[in-house]
Every structure is written in structure tokens, then in C-alpha cells.
Amino acid sequence: LSVGGPRLTLRYAVERDAVALYEMARDPQVTRFFSWGPYRRPAQARAYIARQPRERREGVRLDFVVEHAEHGVIGVTGLSELSRRDRRATVGTWFGRAWWGSGANAESKALLAALAFEHLGLWRLGAYSHPEHSRSAAALRGIGFKREGLLRGYHRHGERQLDVVVWSLLCGDWEGSRLRSEPVRVSGGLPRGWVV
């Protein structure tokens, strides 16, 4: 499966992407608000890639590398927490530090939203942000996500149980949003189990 836009393409990770993912996610700034990382060894990126096919099959996680037409892999975006019954999933994204503020976030979310709403049949994309991660909040708001509230003690990071801010973009929001105006090409088979 490949989802292509003007500059970026979402595709499944393959083994040779491990080096690029490792180089970006070894930066503590990139994983600062995550439950994992920073990567200490390339093997951690390889292990992440190796578990993707099973997680995809089992409906656990549908992750893509974000590939720039000239610069190669610049980050990761994807879906988790699929509820087929409720037609919703949660989006998560990270980019190498050099790509923050580059417009890659909006384009990659446009691609993922088109896939989710137009091809997978989802109705709601949720997202979480750390209460102190104002950049993530501004980025989500900027592409049309609405802040819904604070989930208390929702994510466990190491020994800490953290509150998270919850956001959403509904199919109807997306239809009227600037994300929708990006041209999107979807090619290849859709992942079975993710089409609701």
C-alpha cells in the first residue's frame, strides 16, 4: 500500500529503513514525550520494523514511514487503537528534528486522513498530546483537530502514570478542512482488518 501526495509518500517500513529511523529517533528531542526511546541501538529500529506485519494483521497498529521524494524517510505516522464497531482509530506521528516545521506534518496527516476516511471507512481520528507538549497541540489544532479534554492518568511512561490531552478530527471536519484539499494517490491493496 502506498499513499502519495505532492512531496511525501506513506508506505510500510522495510528492513533497510532501520538506519534512517534509528538516526532520527536516537535524538532525545524527538522521543521526549513518548513512552519509548530515544533509541540506543539500530536493533531497536529493526525490532520495531519487524513487528509491523503482525501488528498490522492483528489490527493493533497500522504504521507507515513518511518518505520524502528527495530526502528519503523523514518520520513515522500511523493508526492504533482501532475500534471497528465505532469506526475510529488514534493517530500518532513523529519526524526527525530537521523536519519539524517543514509542512511534512500537515501533508502526512492529509494522506493518513484520506486513507482513513475515504478508503478504510473510519469516522473519527483521535490523537493524544502530552499536556506540556504545546508544539504538538499547536500542530494538531493547526490541521483541524479539536481539543476534547484531559484524560487523567491515562498513559504509563516508565513508572509514571501521565495525564494526556485528547483531540479528534471527525470525517465531517475533514471534509471541510484544508487537509482535504491535498491531492492523494492510493495504490496497492488495503490492509485487511483495517477496512471497517
Ligand X SMILES: CC(C)(COP(=O)(O)OP(=O)(O)OC[C@H]1O[C@@H](n2cnc3c(N)ncnc32)[C@H](O)[C@@H]1OP(=O)(O)O)[C@@H](O)C(=O)NCCC(=O)NCCS
CB of 164 to ligand X, least distance (A): 9
Query: How far apart (Å, rounded) are the C-alpha atoms in residues 66 and 85?
Result: 28
Site residues (CB under 6 A) for ligand X, limited to 127-146: 128-129, 133-136, 138-139, 142
Tell whether residue 95 is a contact of ligand X (CB under 6 A): yes
Tell whether residue 39 is a contact of ligand X (CB under 6 A): no
Cβ(77)–Cβ(92) below 8 Å: yes
Binding part of the chain for ligand X, among 2-10, 60-68, 89-97, 150-158 by CB under 6 A, reads 89-97
Site residues (CB under 6 A) for ligand X, limited to 17-36: 30, 33
Q: Which is nearer to ligand X, 39 or 85 (CB)?
A: 39
Q: Give the 3-state secondary structure of residue 110.
A: helix
CA-CA distances (angstroms) from residue 134 to 40, 129, 137, 141, 148?
A: 26, 8, 5, 10, 15
Q: Which is nearer to ligand X, 54 or 69 (CB)?
A: 69
Tell whether residue 52 is a contact of ligand X (CB under 6 A): no
Tell whether residue 93 is a contact of ligand X (CB under 6 A): yes
Q: Which is nearer to ligand X, 74 or 82 (CB)?
A: 74
DSSP label of 23 = H
- The tally of CA atoms less than 13 A away on the side-chain side of residue 74 is 22
Tell whether residue 190 is a contact of ligand X (CB under 6 A): no
Which residues on adjacent β-strands are paired with residue 186?
3
Q: Give the residue nearest to ligand X (CB).
A: 138
Q: Give the 3-state secondary structure of residue 133.
A: coil
Burial class (CB in 10 A: 0-12, 13-18, 19+), 117: buried
Binding footprint of ligand X on the chain (CB under 6 A)? 30, 33, 93-95, 100-101, 105-106, 128-129, 133-136, 138-139, 142
